[in-house]
Amino acid sequence: MDDHRDIQNLLLATLSPEDMQLLRPLLDAVTLKQKDVLFEPLQPIEHVYFFESGLSSEIAINAGSKQIEVGCVGREGFSGAPVVLGVDTTPHRSFMEAGGVALKIRSDDLQRVMDVSRPLRQLLLRYAHVFMIQIASTALADGRYNVEQRLARWLLMCNDRIGNELPLTHEFLALMLGVRRPSVTDALHILEGQRLIKAERSLISIRDRKGLEALAGEAYGLPEAEYRRLISEI
């Protein structure tokens, strides 16, 4: 990897030149397509991806194939948080919700560099903490907020990571919200009627972010605040 390449991943951008120099030779830039799988349940997590664009989805899934999205990651972080915790598999599944570019590193290489650099280890563990807060916030939202508020929350999270044009299908949205597709359609119609979004086939455009924030209320914002407190501005 070119030592002078600009880093677009917000987490890596906070590293010192010395720590970045440790990682650079181990990072490979890759292009990921929508629906590309990053890791499967209880299979070795062979690589960690630091996203520069695009959006990945973390899915909780059980033996009966019941599943729901519990977290998403874009250029603020990386996939495979269990790796930095010393764990090589997880019951979760991760795939690309929207394609993009990432810096890929072998999991064992990342763990080795973490053993060398205490600041790097601290940074990655802080992000793992923030991601756990996001998962907990998702559980709270799923249990205490209505579908329209939960949809507003997810759209804001996607907006934070990939901008105003969100290539999200009804299938992805149903997985996000843990509801049937007709419920997704109804919720989209409500948000569109309030002129918060424009919904087209496989594309949602954000029209009024402040309005989405007002609708989501306290369902949105805690993980984002924790990221700002511990790492940097998103």
Per-residue pLDDT tens over the stretch 33-47: 999 999 999 999 999
Between CA 17 and CA 106 the distance in angstroms is: 21
Nearest alpha carbon to residue 128 among 51, 38, 231, 47: 231
- Taking only the tens place, the pLDDT of each residue in 146-155 is 999 999 999 9
**Which whole-number Å values give the CA distances from 185 to 35, 52, 54, 147, in the listed order?**
22, 31, 24, 11
With cut-offs at 50, 70 and 90, classify the pLDDT of residue 64: confident
- Taking only the tens place, the pLDDT of each residue in 154-169 is 999 999 999 999 999 9
pLDDT of amino acid 188: 98
With cut-offs at 50, 70 and 90, classify the pLDDT of residue 231: very high
pLDDT of amino acid 2: 46
pLDDT of amino acid 178: 93
Q: What is the mean pLDDT of residues 98-126?
A: 98
pLDDT of amino acid 5: 58
What is the SS3 assignment for 22?
helix
Between CA 184 and CA 204 the distance in angstroms is: 12
Asked if 59 contacts 67 with a C-beta cutoff of 8 angstroms, the reply is yes
Q: Give me the count of residues in the chain.
A: 234
**What is the identity of the amino acid at 62?**
N
Q: What is the pTM of this model?
A: 0.95
Q: What is the mean pLDDT of residues 164-185?
A: 95
Asked if 60 contacts 119 with a C-beta cutoff of 8 angstroms, the reply is no
In this model, does residue 1 exceed pLDDT 50?
Answer: no
Across the beta sheet with 28-32, what order do the strands follow? Answer: 28-32, 100-106, 47-51
In this model, does residue 6 exceed pLDDT 90?
Answer: no
Q: What is the mean pLDDT of residues 97-123?
A: 97
Q: What is the mean pLDDT of residues 209-213?
A: 98
Nearest alpha carbon to residue 27 among 92, 101, 99, 95: 101
pLDDT of amino acid 234: 60
Asked if 124 contacts 115 with a C-beta cutoff of 8 angstroms, the reply is no
Residue 18, burial from CB neighbour count under 10 angstroms (0-12, 13-18, 19+) = exposed
Residues 1-16: b if buried by 16+ CB within 10 A, e if exposed: eeeeeebbbbbbeebe
Give all domains of the chain, ordered by start, each with its CATH number. Answer: 12-140 (2.60.120.10), 141-229 (1.10.10.10)
Residue 192, burial from CB neighbour count under 10 angstroms (0-12, 13-18, 19+) = middle
In this model, does residue 4 exceed pLDDT 60?
Answer: no
60: left (phi over 0), alpha (psi -120 to 50) or beta: beta
Nearest alpha carbon to residue 25 among 84, 113, 101: 113
Backbone angles phi, psi at 142, to 5 degrees: -65, -30
